[in-house]
Structure 1
């Protein structure tokens, strides 16, 4: 068994070490060979907890069931089986809704790109049951947001209300959440892939490179290979990679025949160097092996990778801190980030409530309100 992690940090538990080995590709022979050593003195409750936290229980269940059932306590296999079955039903439900929504948008001349969910599970793993998803993420052109919302409300979806001021939603957010209580399905309608100031391709660019999935009875459009690769990297980086499933997705997509020239052009154009470097460092730690891409990992990328490493090992609990997100940005992005932080927030109204015709004054008051909240130790 690879003990590289332990020699680096002396912090990885045996349960997590084994979990990582189980989700690696083509590792059945090793699992059979070392199962006596691997599964001795395991804290199975901790193992189950980690498997659920990292959202890799479909892969782990099928691997254990196939290569080492005699070494696994029956209650552990049963618990994993229950989660696997629940996820399979969830993915089938989402697949059905994905086809319905794609058809609805096409009939109303709204272009849509499905970012995650069953279409990505099928594309990466060849089986929708092997990846978990709690909702559907759909990117549409910003000019179609109002029309899309009307259609969703007619379909029984309810919009999650977010309190904002001065069109804050457009500048500080990148999606809106809807929930259908009858179908028990949640979707996110995106008008951007990522929050500002992160740079990204326009919808038109993404649309020209889209692929079409025939997973459902109605065709579903989703991201091209290189766009999906970089989207999954930027999404995982923003979340600190605290779930192994996101890194496993990258390991899977590297099995594609990716266009290196395209990817390197996109990395430079959209300033993803730090995020890709961080990801490359983490892949070397958790899923080492030959990679199709040749990425130079700079010293700062390694620091970002080490930070995420601690999140994965749960040495530190990941929180959406401005400090971590700030560290992902280059100098130009940091300036934009600071400028965006000066845009008024709805929380400013909790300190000083101004009538609508005077709310423009929040732009002037924002620095003082920010300072006041810091002094009073109120969340900024």
Structure 2
């Protein structure tokens, strides 16, 4: 366990610190006292925002911690609602798995109820808003047809040109209006551009989940660790549930030699150090010698410091439009996560045409290749036009 005093948590709400202290408590711990001038409304709000209320309620009940009746009722309602929702998602996950299996679509479930079962031993202890499924890129059309026949509606939230969706984006969302279930179909683990394991590499390392008798496959242990690190870092760890997941993975034990080789291959060692350092400081995660070495690296400490911005605020990156302060900071933060090689690839990706180019100068599809040489001029035109309006 590392306690890095250079991480300044002084402006993190006192109620959040207290919440984490309760979650970390062991059975048999002496009675817990809440600080004076404690804001119970904020306490519940933070538990909801960070999606930690199932763990919090379970721990309060287990340790018989005294809290106001109204607060206990609020946490109980949240816990019960989440339990029913997770059961609902589990049932739909079984149906989707069977649907894809009978239509020869290889399927790996990334998050959702399987993480509750895998990491906490109970689907009710972890929240999940939707079901995330990874399928091979070549199966996307088949999946689209199958889900349409099942009553799902596709949310076409991005435009594309010259098939850039295949590497710029990583998933598309479907929603079932009757079941009120959101389903995310992934063909990549993370948005591009960037190198990541192929679907077949992930498939060959997959595991069978014990959540159901129906064939439900999940990522291999090292791949799951890598995926959760990438996902949490990309969101600034703005919901501490993601760090709680890393804490649980570390407690379960990792084959560090195998894990490190994968992280090094995909240039994610610095992101892992960031996550381990934060988890150690906020959740008292015990780290072995190799993990401590990773967490103490200068780049890991620098990135960990940048996430404190998100802990001091209730940042919801999925709610558009973002406040200007958050939007500007997050854009800079995302770029800082990239290695030098990843930054070069990202910058070079701007040379590839964007859908905005086709909107600026519509051309027949057969001539879309002309957007490559025309892109600098079209970008300059849009910039000049915008400045003129201002």
TM-score normalised by length of structure 1: 0.90
- Of structures 1 and 2, the one scoring higher in RCO (CA 8 A, sep 6+) is 2
The Cα of 1:289 is off from its aligned counterpart by 4.1
**Structure 1 contact 96–216 (Cα < 8 Å) conserved:** no
Cα 1:288/1:210, change in 2 over 3 Å: same
Cα 1:5/1:13, change in 2 over 3 Å: farther
- Please state whether the residue corresponding to 2:361 is helix, strand or coil: coil
- Please state whether the residue corresponding to 2:182 is helix, strand or coil: strand
Cα 1:105/1:349, change in 2 over 3 Å: same
Instruction: Name which of 345, 354, 360 aligns with 2:363.
Output: 354
Q: Does 1:223 align with 2:222?
A: no
2:86 corresponds to which residue? 91
Note the residue ranges of structure 1 that are not aligned, 5 or more in a row. Answer: none
Range 340-349 or range 52-61, more displaced: 340-349
Q: Does 1:248 align with 2:244?
A: yes
Cα 1:6/1:301, change in 2 over 3 Å: closer
2:149 corresponds to which residue? 154
- Equivalents in 2 of 1:224, 1:18: separation in Å? 34
- Equivalents in 2 of 1:192, 1:29: separation in Å? 44
1:220-262 deviation digits (Å, cap 9, x = unpaired): 0001111111111111011111110000000001122321111
Range 210-219 or range 349-358, more displaced: 349-358
2:342 corresponds to which residue? 333
- Equivalents in 2 of 1:259, 1:165: separation in Å? 42
**Structure 1 contact 274–329 (Cα < 8 Å) conserved:** no
- Equivalents in 1 of 2:264, 2:352: separation in Å? 28
1:367 corresponds to which residue? 376
The Cα of 1:92 is off from its aligned counterpart by 0.4
Cα 1:56/1:344, change in 2 over 3 Å: same
- Equivalents in 2 of 1:284, 1:370: separation in Å? 45
TM-score normalised by length of structure 2: 0.88
Note the residue ranges of structure 2 that are not aligned, 5 or more in a row. Answer: 316-324
RMSD across aligned positions (CA): 2.4
- Equivalents in 2 of 1:367, 1:124: separation in Å? 48
Instruction: Name which of 203, 207, 230 aligns with 1:207.
Output: 203
**Structure 1 contact 5–12 (Cα < 8 Å) conserved:** no
Within 5 Å, give how 1:165-314 maps onto structure 2: 165-292=161-288, 293-294=290-291, 295-296=293-294, 297-314=296-313
**Structure 1 contact 348–369 (Cα < 8 Å) conserved:** yes
- Please state whether the residue corresponding to 1:8 is helix, strand or coil: coil
The Cα of 1:346 is off from its aligned counterpart by 2.2
2:321 corresponds to which residue? none
